[in-house]
Chain A
Amino acid sequence: MPEQTVLEVYRYLPDEETEPRFQSYEITYRDSWVVLDALDHIKTEIDPTLSFRWSCRMGVCGSCGMTVNGEPKLTCETFIRDYNTETIKIEPLAHFPVIRDLVINMQDFMEKLPTVSPWLITDEDKPLEAGEYLQTPAQMARYKRFSMCINCMLCYSACPVYGLNSLFTGPAALALAERYNLDSRDEGTQERSDVVTAHDGIWRCTYVGECTKVCPKDVDPAGAIQMLKLSYALDWAKSLVLPGRGR
């Protein structure tokens, strides 16, 4: 590994410049540094005008997603040592408008997320005296993988379908819909169905699978969407044979 590493960082300062550009920063290579450490070093020691999001630094908050050498990554868990190149290119997440430098506008995602009602829905609330909503480990195992999403939006950045058509509900939101559909305590499958099975819902997914590949939490949104497709398609078929029996 070289003693010096060059970070080629996407810069966009809308108040001062009309076009984005790349700016190179040469830093001393440190074996223990993740990309976020290097960006922090640049901001505190070299160029305080550089803007980027971060919070927990431990792969939990989902704030520091960026494109590192062309791939969507959480920069807090992406080690510089894993890139055997002298230059590492850092860009904002693809498919989102850029507010400034590496900071994207996440409004589209924030608006889509609640449309799939990603929370437990019950037909009737139990009185407190009735106790907890119990669940067996096997029932929890059905949805647990899909519940690990940290809303980092790496999957949206990797999804070519979302890149071509931002109306697509997208991987994380749909995976969360399936997470709650699979929950034994939930009765909201029907309530979610209009959004999930809309033209720009699950049917838009062409199963490229990049969302699953880049997910830092192994959520497998592509698998969740295929499960949703099968489930809702079978319900549709049932409703043809037995009207009123489908969702």
Chain B
Amino acid sequence: MTAKPDKTAPLFWLLFAGGGTASAMLLPAMVFVTGVAVPAGWVAEDDLMALIGNPLTRLVVVSLVFLFLFHWAHRFRYALVDLGFGGLGKQAWLFYGTALAGTGLAGLAALRL
């Protein structure tokens, strides 16, 4: 049988890789600013709210949340494959669906800020 390129795998892998890079590089900084620097008073809450008030900032933050969650979904899916539970069929959408739902919630939260 002649092998054919997998047309969807590159998209999934790029989102996974992008999510991994973003998680490693940006998530700790985001957690530090929102979870430590603002409560400790090192960064004024008003300044942070002014930043997040910009629609472009909200779009970037929600996009990052999507990448973080997509990375989790893809990693978790393949972790189950490695453990012999399958995970390459329809059940894979459970993980990606959860990532999309989480992104939707982040979007709603961003709109309400």
Contacts and interface: CB of A to CB of B under 8 A. Distances in A.
Interface of A: 115, 160-161, 164, 193-195, 197-201, 203, 206, 208, 229-230, 232-233, 236-237
B17 A230 contact: yes
Interface of B: 2-6, 9-11, 13-14, 17, 78-79, 81-82, 84
Contacts of A198: 3-6
A233 B17 contact: yes
Interface of A is mostly: helix
Given A229-B13, A233-B13, A236-B10, A194 B4 contact: yes
Given A161-B81, A229-B17, 6 more contacts: A160-B82, A164-B84, A206-B82, A229-B13, A233-B17, A236-B10
15 contacts: A115-B3, A160-B82, A161-B81, A164-B81, A195-B3, A197-B6, A197-B10, A199-B9, A203-B6, A206-B81, A208-B82, A229-B13, A229-B17, A230-B17, A233-B14
Contacts of A194: 2-5
Contacts of B14: 233, 236-237
Contacts of A161: 81-82
Nearest to B5: A197
Contact of A199 (B6, B13, B82): B6
Contacts of B10: 197, 232-233, 236-237
Nearest to B80: A206
B21 to A, nearest CB: 11
